[in-house]
Amino acid sequence: MKEVKLWAVGSISRDDIRTPLEYKQNVLGGSLPYSTIAASFFQKTGAVGLVGTDFSVSFSRRWASFKLDLSGVKKAEGKTFHWACEYEDNMISRKTLATDLGVFANFKPELPEAYRDVKFVLLGNIDPKLQLSVLDQARDVEFVTVDTMNYWIQNAKEDLRKVIKRATMLTVNDEEARLLTGQRNLLEAAAELIKMGPQYVLIKKGEHGALLFTQDDIFIVPAYPVRRLVDPTGAGDSYAGAFMGYLSRATDTKEKTVRTALLHASAVASFCVEEFSIDRFTRLSLPDIKSRVSDLKHMIKV
């Protein structure tokens, strides 16, 4: 069996999702399944998370069917994190209908010994204290990507800044970048974020793509235009996972490689939104991904 070359930590949930097209109940969700499955198309990936005793066998089997190591996923007595939301007609804005943390409220991530020397780390969108706790258990990491959200910016900013200082890449959307820095202009916001410590800052703009900032450069990452948007849930997590999966498989982490990894991330995320939960990934292949990457390169070619 191949050794784990990348691990991620994040949430695991049972989701109820209502979109203008359809309503799905009790589907596999959370940042960790999306990110690790997306990464698995490129690299042997480990997962660190927590589920309850109600986490179904079918969920476990579907998740484990990908190129993953789930030895870092623990089970505790109680209910798995449950989340419900409803999307508006624009498929961008959404309203959270329920957030029941269950066992996730007491999550204390423990890094398996086999993960401790892994060089590539994805810290999914969870409490910055937990991100710091699990990162402290790793040894000699090479590339750390950190994801976060408005809630942690507003309620745990001091701890979040500690995590950002140790990140190689920070991923936020445009609203989060402005909230975190107090800057309205994204160029100014990115400059402030770079000063906080990361080498790269990725500011996501949904269907309009993303902007990759370094201290000296900017790269525009296009979003792949999909014909049918079914469920946007998990697109950002899939994006981050695919990026880290590709990067951990590459021969270096230079900026050109980072840019190529982001094109692969955009391609994988475009498949995620075509069906609910992880359904589209069960029929996805590496040649499918490469085809869309080729399309993206053609779209941005001058």
pLDDT-based confidence at residue 207 (cuts at 50, 70, 90): confident
Topology at the third CATH level for domain 7-299: UDP-N-acetylmuramoyl-L-alanine:D-glutamate ligase (3.40.1190)
Res. 43: pLDDT tops 60: yes
* Residues β-bridged to residue 219: 212
Q: Rounded to whole angstroms, what are the CA distances from 261 to 94, 107, 199, 245, 266?
A: 29, 31, 16, 8, 9
Query: How many beta carbons lie within 10 A of that of residue 91, not counting itself?
Result: 17
Residue 2 has pLDDT above 80, yes or no: no
Looking at residue 240, its amino acid is A
The residue-averaged pLDDT of 224-241 equals 95
- Residue 6 in this model has a pLDDT that exceeds 60: yes
pLDDT at 187 > cutoff 60: yes
For position 1, what pLDDT does the model report? 52
Reduced to 3 states (helix: H, G, I; strand: E, B; else coil), residue 17 is strand
- Which one, of 235, 242, 237, 281, lies nearest residue 258 by Cα? 242
- β partners of residue 100: 82
Distance CA 266, CA 175 (A): 20
pLDDT (tens digit per residue) in 72-129: 999 999 999 999 999 999 998 899 999 999 999 999 999 999 999 999 999 999 999 9
Domain chopping of the chain, boundaries: 7-299
Instruction: Evaluate if residue 302 carries a pLDDT over 60.
Output: yes
Q: Name the average pLDDT for the chain.
A: 96
**Structure pTM?**
0.96
Cβ proximity of 48 and 8 under 8 Å: yes
**Tens-place pLDDT, residues 154-165:** 999 999 999 999
Pairing of strands 23-29, 210-213: unpaired
